[in-house]
Amino acid sequence: MKRLFVIAALVCAGPLSAEVRVSTDFEGGSAKVESVDAGAKVVRFIPGGDPQRGWVCWWHLRLDGVPAGEHWTLDLGGSDRPTRNNGVDTDAPLAATWAQPDSATFSSDGQTWKLTEPGVREGKRIRYEVVGDGGPIRIAWGPPFGSREVESLCSATKQKLPSVEVIELAQSREGRPVRGLHVHESKAEKPLGLWVQARQHAWESGSSWVAHGFTEWVVSDAPEARRLRETTEIFIVPIMDVDRVATGDGGKEANPRDHNRDWTAEPVYPEVAAAQARLLALVKDGRLKLFLDLHNPAPGDKHPFFFVGPEELLSPEGKVKRAQFMEQAFAHLTGPLAAEKRLRTTGASYHPLFRQISGMWVDANGNPDTVAACLETSWNTPHSTTAGYRDVGQKLAQAAAAYLKHR
Ligand SMILES: [Zn+2]
Instruction: Find the mean pLDDT for residues 129-147.
Output: 97
Size (the chain), residues: 407
Q: Which of 115, 140, 165 is the last residue of a domain?
A: 140
Q: Tell me: do 180 and 71 sit in the same domain.
A: no
Centroid of ligand 1 to alpha carbon of 60 (angstroms): 19
Q: Which residues constitute the domain of residue 43? A: 4-140
* Gap between the Cα atoms of 50 and 271, Å rounded: 22
Q: Tell me: do 235 and 289 sit in the same domain.
A: yes
Q: Tell me: do 210 and 357 sit in the same domain.
A: yes
Task: For residue 327, give the CATH number of its domain.
Answer: 3.40.630.10
Cβ(241)–Cβ(169) below 8 Å: no
pLDDT over 70, % of the chain? 96
pLDDT of residue 346: 83
Q: Tell me: do 263 and 341 sit in the same domain.
A: yes
Q: Number of structural domains, the chain? A: 2
Residue 18 banded pLDDT, cuts 50, 70, 90: low
Render pLDDT for 32-88 as a digit per residue (tens, 0 to 9).
999 999 999 999 999 999 999 999 999 999 999 999 999 999 999 999 999 999 999
Centroid of ligand 1 to alpha carbon of 205 (angstroms): 10
Residue 284 banded pLDDT, cuts 50, 70, 90: very high
Instruction: Tell whether the model's pLDDT for residue 12 goes beyond 70.
Output: no
Centroid of ligand 1 to alpha carbon of 62 (angstroms): 25
Centroid of ligand 1 to alpha carbon of 273 (angstroms): 18
Question: Using alpha carbons only, what angle is made at residue 322 by residues 319 and 324, rounded to the nearest 5 degrees?
Answer: 110
Q: Tell me: do 157 and 192 sit in the same domain.
A: yes
Q: Tell me: do 166 and 121 sit in the same domain.
A: no
End-to-end CA distance of the chain: 49
Q: Tell me: do 332 and 384 sit in the same domain.
A: yes
Q: Tell me: do 290 and 385 sit in the same domain.
A: yes
Q: Which of 125, 140, 155 is the last residue of a domain?
A: 140
Contacts of 36 (CB under 8 A, 6+ apart): 5, 7, 20, 22, 42, 43, 44
Q: Tell me: do 128 and 245 sit in the same domain.
A: no
The string of DSSP codes covering 111-163 is: S--EEPSPPEEETTEEEEEEE--SS-EEEESS----HHHHHHHHHHHHHH-TT
Q: Tell me: do 46 and 128 sit in the same domain.
A: yes
Centroid of ligand 1 to alpha carbon of 250 (angstroms): 10
Centroid of ligand 1 to alpha carbon of 188 (angstroms): 34
- A 10 A CB-CB count for 148 gives 14
Cβ(170)–Cβ(239) below 8 Å: no
* Percent composition of the chain: helix, strand, coil (DSSP 3-state, to 5): 30, 30, 45
Centroid of ligand 1 to alpha carbon of 315 (angstroms): 26
Render pLDDT for 121-136 as a digit per residue (tens, 0 to 9).
999 999 999 999 999 9
Q: Give the residue among 66, 20, 25, 73 at the shortest CA–CA distance from 48.
A: 25
Centroid of ligand 1 to alpha carbon of 204 (angstroms): 6
Instruction: Tell whether the model's pLDDT for residue 16 goes beyond 60.
Output: no
Q: Tell me: do 85 and 41 sit in the same domain.
A: yes
Centroid of ligand 1 to alpha carbon of 202 (angstroms): 8
* Gap between the Cα atoms of 244 and 61, Å rounded: 16
Centroid of ligand 1 to alpha carbon of 335 (angstroms): 21
Task: For residue 74, give the CATH number of its domain.
Answer: 2.60.40.3120
Integer-rounded Cα radius of gyration of the chain: 22
Cβ(240)–Cβ(257) below 8 Å: no
Centroid of ligand 1 to alpha carbon of 262 (angstroms): 13
Cβ(244)–Cβ(53) below 8 Å: yes
Instruction: Find the mean pLDDT for residues 309-338.
Output: 96
Centroid of ligand 1 to alpha carbon of 296 (angstroms): 6
Q: Which of 140, 162, 186 is the last residue of a domain?
A: 140
Say if pTM beats, i.e. exceeds, 0.85.
yes
Instruction: Tell whether the model's pLDDT for residue 6 goes beyond 60.
Output: no
Instruction: Find the mean pLDDT for residues 12-21.
Output: 56
Q: Tell me: do 251 and 290 sit in the same domain.
A: yes
Render pLDDT for 156-210 as a digit per residue (tens, 0 to 9).
999 999 999 999 999 999 999 999 999 999 999 999 999 999 999 999 999 999 9
